[in-house]
Amino acid sequence: MRKAVIVSLDAFFDADYESLSPEGGLSQIIREGTVCRQVKTVFPALTYPAHVTLVTGCDPMDTKVGQNQPFQPDTDSAHRVWYWERKHIAVPTLFDAVKSAGGRNCTVFWPVCCKNPAARWCFPEVHPLPGENMVLKTLRYGTPLFILDGELRFGSMRQGISEPGLSDYAAAITARAIRRKKPDLTAVHLIDLDEMRHHHGTFNREAREAIRRNDLRLDQIRRAITETPGMEDALLIAVSDHGQSDISVTVNLTETLKALGLSEDFGVQSNGESAYFFALRPSASPETAMALLEAHREEYGILRLYSRRELDHMGCVSGVSFACEAMNQVVFSDGLSKNKREKATHGFGPGHRAENCLFAVWGKNIRAGADLPSMPMRDVAPTIAGLMGISLPSARGIDHSREIFM
Ligand SMILES: [Zn+2]
Q: Dump pLDDT digits (tens) for 128-177.
A: 999 999 999 999 999 999 999 999 999 999 998 899 999 999 999 999 99
Q: What is the mean pLDDT of residues 365-379?
A: 98
Contacts of residue 173, Cβ cutoff 8 Å, sequence gap at least 6: 108, 123, 150, 153, 154, 188
pLDDT of residue 77: 85
List the shell of residues around ion ligand 1, using CB closer than 5 Å.
10, 47, 194, 241
pLDDT at position 282 is: 97
295 C-alpha vs ligand 1 centroid, how far in Å?
33
CATH code of residue 203 = 3.40.720.10
Is the confidence at residue 381, as pLDDT, over 70?
yes
Per the prediction, the chain carries an average pLDDT of 97
- Whole-number percent of the chain with pLDDT over 90: 96
Domain count, the chain: 2
Give residue-wise pLDDT tens across range 191-215: 999 999 999 999 999 999 999 999 9
Which of 309, 329, 345 delimits the end of a domain? 345
Same domain, yes or no: 43 and 176: yes
Does residue 384 share a domain with residue 277? no
Distance 198 CA to ligand 1 centre (A): 10
Q: What is the CATH number of the domain that holds 287?
A: 3.30.1360.110
Q: Residue 69 Cα, ligand 1 centroid: separation in angstroms?
A: 13
CA of 292 to the centre of ligand 1 (A): 32
Let me know whether 300 and 229 are in one domain.
Answer: no
**Beta carbons within 10 angstroms of residue 364's beta carbon:** 10
Report the pLDDT value the prediction gives residue 341, as an integer from 0 to 100.
Answer: 84
* pLDDT bracket for residue 338 (50, 70, 90): low
Last residue of a domain, one of 302, 325, 345: 345
Residue 337: pLDDT band (50, 70, 90) is low
Mean pLDDT of 263-272: 97
Q: Do residue 257 and residue 310 come from a single domain? A: yes
pLDDT at residue 258 is higher than 90: yes
Report, as an integer, the average pLDDT of 2-16.
98
Q: Label each residue of the chain as H, E or C.
A: CCCEEEEEECCCCHHHHHHCCCCCHHHHHHHHCEEEEEEECCCCCCHHHHHHHHHHCCCHHHHCCCCCCCCCCCCCHHHCCCCCEHHHCCCCCHHHHHHHCCCCEEEECCCCCECCCCEEEEECCCCCCCCCCHHHHHHHHCCHHHHHHHHHHHHHHCCCCCCCHHHHHHHHHHHHHHHHHCCCEEEEEECHHHHHHHHHCCCCHHHHHHHHHHHHHHHHHHHHHHCCCCCCCCEEEEECCCCCEEEEEEEEHHHHHHHCCCCCCEEEEECCCEEEEEECCCCCCHHHHHHHHHHCCCCCCEEEEECHHHHHHCCCCCCCCEEEEECCEEEEECCCCCCCCCCEECCCCCCCCCCEEEEEEECCCECCCEEECCEEHHHHHHHHHHHHCCCCCCCCCCCCHHHHEC
C-alpha of residue 189 to centroid of ligand 1, in Å: 9
Angle at 41 between CA 36 and CA 43, to 5 degrees: 165
Q: Yes or no: say if 196 and 210 are a contact pair by the CB < 8 Å rule.
A: yes
> What whole-number distance in Å separates Cα of residue 177 and Cα of residue 137?
22
User: Phi first, then psi: what are they for 189, rounded to 5°?
Assistant: -115, 115
Predicted local distance difference test score (pLDDT) of residue 136: 95
Domain boundary among 345, 361, 389: 345
* Tens digits of residue pLDDT in 13-53: 999 999 999 999 999 999 999 999 999 999 999 999 999 99
The stretch 275-289 carries a mean pLDDT of: 98
Do residues 316 and 203 share a domain? no
Q: In this structure, are 126 and 204 located in the same domain?
A: yes
Residue 76 has pLDDT above 80, yes or no: yes
Ligand 1 center from residue 25 Cα (angstroms)? 20
Residue 87 has pLDDT above 70, yes or no: yes
| Statement to judge: residues 150 and 220 lie in one domain | yes
Q: How far is the CA of 229 from the centre of ligand 1 (A)?
A: 33
Has residue 339 got a pLDDT over 70? Answer: no
Residue 402 pairs in a beta bridge with: none
Q: What is the pLDDT of residue 265?
A: 98
Structural domain including 289 reads 246-345
Q: Ligand 1 center to residue 144 CA distance, Å?
A: 26
pLDDT at 106 over 90: yes
